[in-house]
């Protein structure tokens, strides 16, 4: 068979000290994580199935971390808008239409983030 696929860094510790310790999975020698099990969704008799399984999980975790960062940023923006309007309301420096405008801004920010924008 061909060459082993180049392995992505460990999605948990970021290191690249990975070895195959089983027919089914790889293990990170830095943090001790292993897997996922290559039997799931991988063709039989593929000697590099554990490598592909390792890389697939790394991609999934990277994508989830990026989405988590995007959602966290949107929520922090929304919280800042809410804080700003709360301060203005408390000091009577704001009209009702401004409160409505900020509420719409917060809603639109959160919806855009939930829709992947
Ligand atoms: Zn690791």
pLDDT tens digit sequence for 24-81: 999 999 999 998 888 866 666 788 999 999 999 888 888 999 999 999 999 999 899 8
Query: How many Å lie between the centroid of ligand 1 and the Cα of residue 2?
Result: 26
Distance CA 115, CA 117 (A): 6
DSSP state of 34: B
- Across 1-117, the runs of DSSP E, i.e. the strands, are 18-20, 26-28
Separation of 107 CA from ligand 1 center, angstroms? 39
Q: Does the pLDDT value for residue 116 go beyond 90? A: no
In this predicted structure, what is the pLDDT of residue 26?
95
Eight-class DSSP state of 6: P
**Per-residue pLDDT for 8 more than 70?**
yes
Ligand 1 centroid distance, CA of 71 (Å) = 25
Q: 3-7, 15-19, 48-52, 81-85 — which one is most confidently predicted on average? A: 15-19
C-alpha of residue 98 to centroid of ligand 1, in Å: 50
Cβ-based neighbours of 38, under 8 Å, separated by 6 or more:
23, 24, 25, 46, 49, 50, 52, 53
Question: What is the rounded distance in angstroms from the CA atom of residue 53 to the CA atom of residue 107?
Answer: 39
For residue 69, how far is its CA from the centre of ligand 1 (angstroms)? 21
CA 35 to ligand 1 center in whole angstroms: 11
Residue that is written with structure tokens 């992505």 in the block: 8
Tell me the C-alpha distance between 18 and 29, whole Å.
6
**What is the CA(103)–ligand 1 centre distance, in A?**
43
The proportion of the chain whose per-residue pLDDT surpasses 70, expressed as a percent, equals: 95
Q: Could you tell me the pTM of the whole model?
A: 0.64
Rounded CA gap, 58 and 53, in Å?
9
């Amino acid at each position: 068979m061909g060459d082993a696929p180049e392995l992505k860094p460990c999605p948990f510790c970021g290191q690249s000290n990975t070895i195959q310790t089983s027919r089914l999975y790889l293990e990170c020698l830095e943090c001790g994580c292993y897997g996922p099990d290559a039997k799931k969704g991988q063709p039989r008799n593929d000697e590099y199935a554990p490598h592909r399984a390792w890389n697939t999980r790394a991609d999934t975790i990277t994508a989830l971390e990026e989405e988590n960062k995007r959602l966290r940023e949107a929520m922090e923006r929304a919280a800042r808008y809410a804080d700003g309007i709360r301060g203005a309301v408390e000091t009577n420096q704001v009209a009702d239409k401004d409160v409505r405008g900020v509420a719409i801004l917060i809603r639109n920010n959160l919806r855009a983030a939930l829709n992947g924008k």
